[in-house]
Structure 1
Amino acid sequence: MQLSGNWNYPTPIRFGAGRIKEIADACQAVGISKPLLVTDRGLKDLPITQSALDLLEAAGLGRAMFADVDMNPSGENVDAGLAVYRAGGHDGVVAFGGGSALDLGKALAFMSRQTRPLWDFEDIGDWWTRADPDGIDPIVAVPTTAGTGSEVGRASVLTNAQTHEKKIIFHPKILPALVICDPELTVGMPPSITAGTGMDAFAHCLEAFCSPHYHPMSQGIALEGMRLVNEFLPRAYEDGSDIEARAHMMSAAAMGATAFQKGLGAIHALSHPIGAVYNTHHGTTNAVVMQQVLMFNRGAVESRLDQAASYLGIAGGFEGLHARVGELNRLFGIPANLTELGVVNPDLDALTVSALADPSTGGNPVIMNAINTRALLEACL
């Protein structure tokens, strides 16, 4: 099967091995003549990044990069990036990397010509309407991991360093104008990052599938996304050069982020504040709490997950699916609990308050409150 195609859901996507060669054409197609490539510190000197810059420079689009991006990108990262963006007279962003670089790049394009502060655009009610839509520059997204699916998202997740909270900045025009999904870019991912980002994709699909909200299209996408992760993540972890597995995982990542238009839930409601306070890897944190959240939600989702397990080829219904998550975590060397992840002597009351304030709580199939959320956090330690 030829794993290549041009898709337009939810935004134009050029999918296939080797398609990074189209990066300059992609910029020109969306009206970018002087892009700023936004990536992270770990990627900035790697051959895949330098090759992308070579392609942009050869096409007359300049050679500019910003890479001061934290693992959990912050408002300070946005400020620093905006200074570079504006000083360089850039007119668009190439967001290049994993979820952190993609979220930061999207935020820079969004904030490029806004006059209000960043936190005024948090995903609360209609706050997104405060933004000047003409002050948002175009974005070309190029993921180099297969997890967050931020390349097809209408939001950026950023940490407010003052409050130690992760905030979701939302606007429809944060959605990249064009995406290049080239699985060859993920071949160099270390096994631990392959696992953590892959389990993030699984968490997106799982929570979207379990969300009580009505969105049949997302429901179907979430189910197939879970199947792809279950089948191909172990292969990608075992052999990073398995381009078929890498391609299917890249699809699953985009599918998860598309599916969670239906909603997320307690996995993300817990992992967002934990990541903000302890700077843990987001996808790995999701994997650590996943089994406990499944048990927390069991009464509301068991029959639905019985059906999902059957589709995934997992025997034993809900119990089998729950066990499979544990099996994957052990296979990938993921910590067994939050304590092993580095969450030591946590302020459970503060984490509970932050979890309940997270927008993801609204998509959880069991209503979360102060008592059951604190108990869930304790169970994850």
Structure 2
Amino acid sequence: MQSTYYIPTRIVFGNHSLSRLSEQKLPGKKALIVISQGKSTRSNGYLDQLEAQLNQAQVPFVVFDKIQANPAKRHVNEGAELANQAGCDFVIGLGGGSVIDSAKAIAIMATNTGDLWDYVNGGSGKGKPMTEKPLPVVAITTTAGTGTEADPWLVITKEETQEKIGLGNDATFPVLSIVDPTLMVSVPSPFTAYQGFDALFHSTEGYLNKTANTFSDLYSLEAIRLLGKSLAAAVHDGADLQAREDVALANTLAGMVESTSGCISEHSLEHAMSAFHPNLPHGAGLIMISKAYYTYIAEHHVSDQRMIAMAKALGRSDAASAMDFVHALVDLQKACGVDTLKMSEYGIKVEELAKMVENARENMAGLFTVDPMTLSDEDCLSIYQKSFC
């Protein structure tokens, strides 16, 4: 086995753990708080809780509240400008994966010159190294989907070219993350499901990835087990704190999978979908293509034993074939009420599918190189077509 383990984030996990923020060593003297442009962070009292903790710690702050569900590069630039104008020396992301990803990107651009795409590999990115260390980031997650509180990665959309690409390095790990399941009880049922399946696919993709290793395998299988056990319960009763805790822990473990292994081409294919249609929730897009995607892997027998292990982790104890994982996956989607999602409901058209294949290949080609199989453009198009309705 050849592997490198590096996860430098201090994680404070548990119900009401946001109330412990003021006890932690914060990485600066003034914070830029990054939140979404929606109302929930304020209306649910989460921003008030954070501000009270910062006041208790005697740390001043300013708030940037323009982040979209699929975060855009233009808002990264605005946030970085505000951070510099206000003299902020660290960034707090309070929200879901989009907000925390944006906080990381803002931290990069607050200290580095030029444009974020100067530092992006893939698409029209220039692939330059960052010359300055980003501002420190504190992540306070209010959803359980991306695991970004435990990994260095961020995904941003360049709207004018429909490029949705990830980047990150050792310096973009959060220095501190608060994972408080009580902040997740207000997430509506459909989004609990979308986010939970995103965490699931981070784990399954990491387990099938060519770079998978003992460390990532441990995190992957436990995250899959927890989601199989509790995701449907969290979807049906958002106030079920035990279920929320299981799903939150699975999400953080999935972030650790991202830090020790990584995604494969399923994520490339979905990023193209939501790059073309930013109103499509990332997790929903993954659900739409997942049956066809994992059926392809099962039918080509490239990872049979790992597919069986994932099926068992999802709860199918008698699993004996790779397709048993697909059956277990579909059963979980039915249990969560997301098995009938349609691409067409989000404006996706059949004639766009070939362009999406091209977009996936051009912008996140690296994920195809760590697949357990070789996907041709024709294979990718077939997966889209079989998923379309």
Both proteins in one fold, TM over 0.5 = yes
Matched letter for residue 383 of structure 2: L
Spell out, residue by residue over 1:223-262, the C-alpha distance to the aligned partner (whole angstroms, 9 max, x if none): 1110011101011112111111111111111111211332
SS of alignment partner, residue 379 of structure 1: helix
Change (3 A) 1:267 1:194: same
Q: 1:346 deviation in Å?
A: 4.1
SS of alignment partner, residue 154 of structure 2: strand
Q: Is the 8 A contact 1:264 1:361 kept in 2?
A: no
Q: 1:336 deviation in Å?
A: 3.7
Q: Which residue of 2 aligns with 1:349?
A: 354
The count of aligned residue pairs is: 370
Change (3 A) 1:208 1:322: same
Which of 34, 53, 57 matches 1:38? 34
Q: Which residue of 1 aligns with 2:179?
A: 181
Change (3 A) 1:216 1:114: same
Correspondence list, 1:228-267, <5 A:
228-260=226-258, 261-267=260-266
Q: Is the 8 A contact 1:128 1:170 kept in 2?
A: no
Q: Which residue of 1 aligns with 2:311?
A: 309
Q: Tell whether 2:290 aligns with 1:290.
A: yes
Q: Which residue of 2 aligns with 1:4?
A: none
Q: Distance in 2 between matches of 1:139 and 1:205?
A: 24
Q: Distance in 1 between matches of 2:26 and 2:61?
A: 18
Correspondence list, 1:95-110, <5 A:
95-110=93-108
SS of alignment partner, residue 161 of structure 2: coil
Q: Which residue of 2 aligns with 1:361?
A: 368
Change (3 A) 1:63 1:11: closer
Q: 1:212 deviation in Å?
A: 2.2
Greater mean alpha carbon deviation, residues 345-354 or residues 247-256: 345-354
Q: Is the 8 A contact 2:231 2:336 kept in 1?
A: no
Greater mean alpha carbon deviation, residues 208-217 or residues 75-84: 208-217
Matched letter for residue 326 of structure 1: V
Q: Distance in 1 between matches of 2:115 and 2:121?
A: 14
Q: 1:73 deviation in Å?
A: 0.4
Q: Give the 4+ runs in structure 1 shifted more than 4 A.
A: 126-129
Which of 372, 376, 380 matches 2:383? 376
SS of alignment partner, residue 311 of structure 2: helix
Q: Which residue of 2 aligns with 1:13?
A: 11
Q: Is the 8 A contact 2:95 2:143 kept in 1?
A: yes
Alignment RMSD: 2.0
Q: Is the 8 A contact 1:44 1:67 kept in 2?
A: no
Q: Is the 8 A contact 2:111 2:132 kept in 1?
A: no
Q: 1:54 deviation in Å?
A: 2.2
Q: Distance in 1 between matches of 2:48 and 2:37?
A: 13
SS of alignment partner, residue 292 of structure 1: helix
Unaligned runs of 5+ in 2: 1-5
Correspondence list, 1:42-191, <5 A:
42=38, 43-46=40-43, 47-123=45-121, 130-134=129-133, 136-191=134-189
Q: 1:287 deviation in Å?
A: 1.4
Unaligned runs of 5+ in 1: 1-7
Q: Is the 8 A contact 2:41 2:95 kept in 1?
A: no
Identity across matched positions, percent: 25
